[in-house]
């Protein structure tokens, strides 16, 4: 049996440059993994089976199913594995849990099936599975462009504490609704992202500077797509020294840098509303997920 972890992500910046001819939007975003994670177990099997402890994403509804099939199709083999997904990342929050699971499974199955695919091959397959999947093959800190599948690694952030806030409930077709709320006035040239890349490349005063450069264009339309976010945002007003930002298309929010005091204040304030509050840390590419699959010894 192989066991792997798959970590969540936040978007340090998220800019939309315009709408593409294929219907997708052109984005420029800096992605960052954090140490909130799912756990996956992969066993040999006579067929492909995907089980998840979240009932809405079992079997073919799970992106892991698409990832395993895409990998097998690329290599001309029949997909044979039993994959169990144990969720630690809240679902449909903009944290990339499904994409991270898909990337983790691709790496594990590449080993289990002895396919011998390199990083470039895996990235090409991942891009066809989902926009964020290629990023999670390495994790850490990276620039994502195109529709999110074109990945350029960046100098990693040090380990920084982050308070992560996940509202109760989800919205069907949330990502589509958020993009539909955008209009040309929300499009930009990617300049905010470029400024943060310069800070990361410089390597000095990164922690002091990064909070002031975090940015997410969806914050300008979130109340239109998710009206209930207004009340939550107001409850959090004044609790954090640094700005609250949406993670991806939301509704999860984060504060970076944060600290244990802010985490506890937010936890106590939001407990009556069923909101999940986590204190997590940014991770580098080598620890973004346990990509070196651990073989479990079988019975003797």
Query: What are 241-281's pLDDT values in tens digits?
Result: 999 999 999 999 999 999 999 999 999 999 998 899 999 99
Is residue 101 flagged as an active site residue?
no
Distance CA 179, CA 18 (A): 11
Which CATH class for the 1-293 domain? Answer: alpha beta
Structural domain boundaries in the chain? 1-293
Is residue 132 flagged as an active site residue?
yes
Q: How confident is the model at residue 286 (pLDDT cuts 50, 70, 90)?
A: low
* Catalytic-labelled residue, pool 9, 38, 87, 174: 9
Give the pLDDT of residue 290.
45
* Catalytic-labelled residue, pool 38, 101, 132, 174: 132
Average pLDDT over residues 43-68: 95
Share above pLDDT 70 across residues of the chain, in percent, rounded to a whole number: 95
Give the pLDDT of residue 169.
72
Residue 123 has pLDDT above 80, yes or no: yes
Tell me the pLDDT of the chain averaged across its residues: 92
Q: Check residues 266 and 174 and name the one with the higher pLDDT.
A: 266
């Amino acid at each position: 049996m192989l066991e792997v972890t798959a970590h969540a992500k936040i978007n340090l910046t998220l800019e939309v440059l315009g709408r593409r001819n294929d219907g997708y939007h052109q984005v420029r975003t800096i992605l960052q993994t954090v140490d909130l994670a799912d756990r996956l177990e992969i066993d040999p099997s006579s067929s492909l089976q995907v089980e998840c402890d979240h009932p809405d994403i079992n079997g073919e509804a799970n992106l892991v199913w698409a990832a395993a099939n895409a990998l097998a199709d690329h290599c001309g083999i029949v997909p044979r594995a039993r994959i169990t997904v144990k969720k630690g990342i809240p679902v449909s929050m903009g944290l990339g849990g499904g994409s991270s699971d898909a990337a983790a499974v691709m790496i594990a199955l590449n080993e289990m099936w002895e396919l011998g695919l390199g990083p470039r091959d895996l990235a090409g397959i991942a891009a066809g599975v989902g926009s964020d999947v290629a990023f999670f093959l390495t994790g850490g800190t990276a620039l994502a462009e195109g529709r999110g599948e074109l990945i350029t690694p960046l100098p990693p952030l040090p380990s920084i504490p982050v308070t992560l806030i996940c509202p109760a409930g989800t919205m069907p077709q949330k990502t589509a609704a958020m993009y539909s709320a955008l209009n040309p006035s929300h499009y930009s040239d990617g300049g905010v992202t470029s400024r943060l890349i310069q800070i990361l490349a410089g390597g000095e005063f990164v922690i002091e500077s990064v909070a002031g450069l975090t940015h997410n264009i969806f914050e300008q339309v979130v109340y239109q797509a998710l009206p209930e976010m207004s009340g939550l945002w107001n409850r959090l007003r004044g609790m954090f020294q640094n700005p609250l930002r949406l993670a991806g298309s939301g509704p999860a929010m984060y504060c970076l840098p944060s600290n244990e005091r802010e985490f506890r204040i937010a936890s106590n304030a939001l407990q009556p509303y069923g909101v999940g509050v986590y204190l997590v840390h940014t991770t580098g590419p080598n620890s973004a997920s346990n990509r070196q699959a651990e073989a479990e010894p079988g019975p003797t």
